[in-house]
Each structure stands twice: as structure tokens, then as C-alpha cells.
Structure 1
Amino acid sequence: MRPAPKAKVRKARLLVSKVDPWSVLKMAFLLSVALGIVTVVGAVVLWTVMDLTGIFDQVNDLLAQVLGSEGGSFTVQQLISLGQVASFATIIAVVNVVLLTALSMLAAVLYNISATLVGGIGVTLTDD
């Protein structure tokens, strides 16, 4: 019995000569929205963990020792509340969505311009 012949591996060399800016815009928007959600949730979780572990109380005690009686009844939670942290994280997330989407679109347009000059990026695909 003869062994079965080994299948020949196919290779295809392709060039990425153009990227559709509209598809880049849609994908960048979706990914940046996901990153924005992660930013807001991460900030809220971080603040909650810091509150539950007593870090804010330790900082308040340290400030009371450093400032003495001049500090009054100042607490860190008055300065940085959960609502303020969530609001600030949401603002940062919205700005990031706009900036990342616009920069991705600009990068796609710049890639298309440079690809017309140099031919694009070569990619080799194989069939294993």
C-alpha cells in the first residue's frame, strides 16, 4: 500500500491597495463605543473598590493629621463622589468615541493616498 499523496499547500499573494473609509468608520465607531463603555464601568468599579477597601477613609485620616484643625471636616468623598466620577468618565468616553472615530477615518484616507503611491501592503494567504 502506498501512502496517500500529500495535499499541495496553496499560497496567494495579495495586496491591500485600498481600504473602504466607510467600513473603517463603522468599525472604529463600534470599537470606540465598546472602549467607552469599558472606561465608564472601569471607573465606577475602581471607585467602588476604593470605597469598600477604606482607602478614602485612610486618605481622610492622613489629611486630618497633615492639616490638623485647619482642615475642618473635609472628606475626599465630598470632592470625588461616585456621581462625579461616573460623569467625568462618561465625558471622557464620549470625547474618545469622537476622536478615535475621526482619527481612524483619517488614517484610512491617508492609507489610501499612500497606497496609490507605493502599491499597498503585501499579504500572503496560505491554505493549511
Structure 2
Amino acid sequence: MTAADYARTTNQSPSSTAVIPAVKDKVETPPERTTTTSGATLSPAPESGSKKERRASLRLTHIEPWSVTRMAFAISVAMMIVAVVAVSIFWVVMEATGVWDQINGSVTSVLSDDSTSFNITDYLGFWRMVGLTLVLSAINVILTTALATIGAHLYNLAAQLLGGVEVTFAEEH
């Protein structure tokens, strides 16, 4: 299949991420190799027993930025939920083990005041820590989503210049 044949048979949709097989203008097919309809070259490996192996060499030349944006946003939101749950569990464990009371006692003894003048949970209370985690996680969602989208655009520009990343897939039977 030539590059012109491949260009005629593919759908250049703006909502698709393209994985384009390595296409050459002159296709030389040795007797032991076969070429699929998609243009990927499949070659059997030397037979070892009853297992046969096929290989396909493909080139990733375009990543759809919108799909990267959606995936980065979904992963970032999932990480936001994980962070809030982790901070909540951490705070509850610190409360249950008496760490906050020990910090209050240490600060009170250093300041030589009565024990009711300082309470660490006034500064690091449960809802204050969860709120701070939510704010920082929301900033992280925005930054991660934006950076992933910019990264997809940069990859597409680099792939236009350099040809993309070539990947070889192997299939065992």
C-alpha cells in the first residue's frame, strides 16, 4: 500500500487519534511476510514449538488534544477525591491517637501558659484541612488538564517534524 492509497482510505476526522502504520511508497514483501489491509507489516517469528508470533509496526503521528483533555480532567478529579479522602483519614487517625493533644501540651509547656490558651485544631481543624485540600486539588485539576492539553499539542507539532513514535506490537497464539 502506498502513502497515497492510505490517505484515500483513512478518515481524517478531527475527533480521532490517529495511529498510522508505517507506509512506504514501494512495498517489498518477502515471501515469509504478509501485509494487512491497514498497511501494517506482519511477520511470523521463528517457530518455537506450537507458538506463532505476529508483529505489527505502527507509528503514532497524531494525538487528539480533546481526548487528552478529557482523560487528564477525569484522572485529576479522581486524584482530587483520593486526596480529600486521604487527608480526612489522616486527620481522624491523628485525632484518635492523641497527636493533637500532645502538640497542644508541647506548645503550652514551651509558652508556659495555661492549657486552654492554645489549641492546634483551631488552626488545623478537620474542615479547614479538607477545605485547603479541596482548594489545592482544584488548582491541581486545572493545571494538570491544561498542561496535558499543551503536551498533546506539542507532541503533534513534534510528530509532524519527526514522524511520531514507532511502536511494534507482537501477538502470540
Specify if TM > 0.5: yes
Q: Which residue of 2 aligns with 1:102?
A: 146
Shift of 1:92: 0.9
- Equivalent of 1:63 in 80, 104, 107: 107
| Partners of 1:107 and 1:85 in 2: CA distance | 32
SS in 1 for 2:156: helix
Q: Higher relative contact order by CA 8 Å / sep ≥ 6: 1 or 2? A: 1
Distance in 1 (CA, whole Å) between partners of 2:158 and 2:73 is 23
**What is residue 33 of structure 1 aligned with on the other side?**
77
Q: 2:114 aligned with 1:114, yes or no? A: no
Q: Higher Cα Rg: structure 1 or 2? A: 2
Which residue does the alignment assign to 2:54?
A: 10
Residue 42 in 1 paired to residue 86 in 2? yes
Distance in 1 (CA, whole Å) between partners of 2:58 and 2:79 is: 32
- 1:80 Cα deviation (Å)? 1.1
Shift in Å, 1:44: 1.0
CA distance in structure 2 between the partners assigned to 1:37 and 1:92 by the alignment? 12
Q: Deviations over 1:81-116 (max 9, x none)?
A: 111011101101111111110000000000000011
Separation of aligned partners in 2, 1:16 and 1:70: 68
Deviation, 1:6, is 2.9
Per-residue CA distance 1:3-62 (angstroms, 9 max, x = gap): xx7353110011111101111011111000000111111111111111111101111111
1:21–1:108 contact (8 Å) kept in structure 2: yes
Show the counterpart of 1:82.
Answer: 126
Question: What's the % identity of the aligned pairs?
Answer: 37
Q: How big is the alpha-carbon RMSD for the aligned residues of Structure 1 and Structure 2?
A: 1.5
How far apart are the structure 2 equivalents of 1:71 and 1:105? 53
CA contact (8 A) 1:63 1:71 kept: no
- State the aligned residue count: 124
What's the TM-score once normalised by structure 1's chain length? 0.91
Structure 1 stretches of 5 or more lacking a match? Answer: none
Higher helix proportion: 1
